[in-house]
Homo-oligomer: A and B are copies of this chain.
Amino acid sequence: MEKQSIGTNATICPMPVTLVGSMVNDRSNFMTVAFISRVNMNPPLISMGLNKQSATREAVFKHRTFSVNFPSAGMVAETDYCGIASGKTTDKSGLFKVFYGKSPYAPMISECPLSFECTVVETHEFATHTCFIGEIVATYLDSSCVTNGKPDPAKIDPLLLTMPDNQYWRIGKPVAQAWNAGKKVQKRS
């Protein structure tokens, strides 16, 4: 394949779309975050990059706890709004029905099929973003999104984001089973 260099204006393809919950000025606040992934298996740690200018960065830094909510594709307008409107100047507390788990500083979204409650383990400062390392301390799943006792991604119907085309996507068709599809290559080698 002919390759072209596109500088460094590229990113992970695609990114998961989440709404990160925190308490800003004593009200529940949600910010759209796609710079997020697992980073350690056991204990379950995640890395999350938050813009240093965001109200969420300040709130998570202060309260050391936050939530990660996975909106379904039908929630795309509200999800995108949470990435446009800053919690510093906008009250987003009425957008969703909120519930709480262990901490009063980690509001979670009832309408989101899957939510994590997290505590901050480490913080690392970079030029434009703060990287929070969080531990998942509890997970809440809609009973309607369970198949064979596990979260069912097709029922969760999560959102993806690609950049720089700035497009939200749904997940598509299942392709193969992991830790299985490669066995035929193993035999061939």
Contacts and interface: CB of A to CB of B under 8 A. Distances in A.
Most-contacted residue by chain B among A3, A131, A166 (CB, 10 A): A3
A73 B127 CA distance: 34
A14 B144 contact: no
Contact of A126 (B45, B162, B169, B172): B45
A100 B133 CA distance: 32
A27 to B, nearest CB: 14
A155 B140 CA distance: 35
A121 to B, nearest CB: 8
Interface residues of A, number: 111
A8 B137 contact: yes
Interface string A144-174: 1011101111001011111111111111111
Contacts of A4: 140-143, 146
Contacts of A73: 175
Given A42-B127, A70-B13, A139-B7, A79 B182 contact: yes
Contacts of A42: 127-128
Q: Which 4 A-B pairs give the minimum distances between C-beta atoms?
A: A81-B182, A172-B172, A80-B182, A37-B37
Given A8-B137, A166-B178, A168-B178, 18 more contacts: A2-B142, A11-B44, A12-B16, A13-B153, A15-B16, A39-B126, A39-B131, A40-B129, A42-B127, A45-B126, A76-B175, A81-B182, A82-B182, A84-B182, A85-B182, A160-B160, A166-B179, A170-B171
